[in-house]
Amino acid sequence: MKKAIAVICFLVGGTTSCFAQDYVPMLDTVNEWKFTTCNFGCITDTYYTDGDTIVDGTTYKILDGYHYISRGFLLHEDVAEKQISIKMLLPSGTEDYLLYDFSLEVGDTFQMNNPITPFPNDGGLFVLDEISSKTLADGKSYRHFYFSPAPGNTQSTEEAVWIEGVGSLSIINAPGGHPDINEVGHLSCFFKDGERVYENLDSITECVPDVLGISDMAHSFNNVLLYQNNGTVFLENTTNIRLFSVYDVTGVKITDGINSNRAAQFSFSTANYANGLYLVRMLDANGNKQVLKFVVR
């Protein structure tokens, strides 16, 4: 497959000046998407990346919120290949799909997968009709990819739009989904580390993040220490921590607790835990979240 480099040209003094636009990663920050549907009155839901996990040696970002509260929806980005995939840890088993390929060139075809969405799971082949660069709410230029169903595609009938560094204008796991505020819905806002990148104010009044940026989170969490000793996990410097929950890598909650006395240390036993990777999700008094990892062997 060809690797695309976006070339942007300007006419200056009668001459054309061009430069290549570097790839803009999606998963290099804490991300937050706001998604609006207006079928029977407008409702805006929020989903976001909340910590990292490792499965079979590969690092993933954990999706949370909206339809992803099981924390079994994991995103991985291959920056070199400009591709984003999803691993879904479902009761029926693990499923993997390639969602986005931002190395595509105009005229290329792409197999759209829309797993666990209102769109066809197998969306069929789409053709990349156009790539254009547009300035978004943060004042930076992002490549927009415009697709239409390929001839003979009987699964999908409507167009799809991707933004490099943001994802689909439909649901994140529906790259072949048509963004329609009065049907499945449309992306309204997108934030990186709490900073507004994309906004569509057709059906909402403003874009304000619910998930605070890293700088706000760091104050509560940057001194928290996790360590293990003789089958017990200890958390120290936890004065600012209000709640904690422990999950396995499939997103199943194992235990939780409340730090009602603002204790500087608390602990829990892993004697009955199966071997594997676990996540400790912490919440401070301001609603900020952070995730730490530990392994039981």
The dotted CATH code for 214-296 is 2.60.40.3080
Q: Work out the pLDDT band at 18, boundaries 50, 70, 90.
A: very low
- The mean per-residue pLDDT over the stretch 41-60 comes to 89
pLDDT above 50 for 214: no
DSSP3 helix / strand / coil % (the chain, rounded to 5): 5, 55, 40
Is the CB of residue 8 less than 8 Å from the CB of residue 141?
yes
Question: The tokens of 95 are what?
Answer: 């499923």
DSSP-assigned states of every residue in 122-191: EEEEEEEEEEEEEE-TTS-EEEEEEEEEPTT--S--S-EEEETTTEESS-TT-TT---BTTTTBEEEEEE
Instruction: Give the Cα separation of 181 and 28 in Å (integer).
Output: 28
Q: Work out the pLDDT band at 67, boundaries 50, 70, 90.
A: confident
Nearest to 209 by CA among 19, 8, 49, 63: 49
pLDDT above 60 for 76: yes
pLDDT above 50 for 51: yes
Backbone angles phi and psi of 67, in degrees to 5: -90, 10
pLDDT above 70 for 37: yes
- The mean per-residue pLDDT over the stretch 39-48 comes to 84
pLDDT above 50 for 254: yes
Q: Work out the pLDDT band at 7, boundaries 50, 70, 90.
A: very low
Q: Residue 27 has what pLDDT?
A: 96
Report CA torsion sign: 87, 210, 176, 42: positive
- The mean per-residue pLDDT over the stretch 80-85 comes to 97
Rg for the chain, CA atoms, rounded: 21
Q: Residue 188 has what pLDDT?
A: 96
Q: Comparing 283 with 44, which gets the higher pLDDT? A: 44
Average predicted confidence (pLDDT) for the chain = 86
Q: Residue 178 has what pLDDT?
A: 96
pLDDT digits (tens, 9 = 90+) for 151-194: 999 999 999 999 999 999 999 999 999 999 989 999 999 999 88
Q: How long is the chain?
A: 297
pLDDT above 80 for 10: no
Domain ranges of the chain: 6-199, 214-296
Q: Of 89-98, 129-138, 203-212, which gets the smallest average pLDDT?
A: 203-212
Largest CA distance in the chain: 74
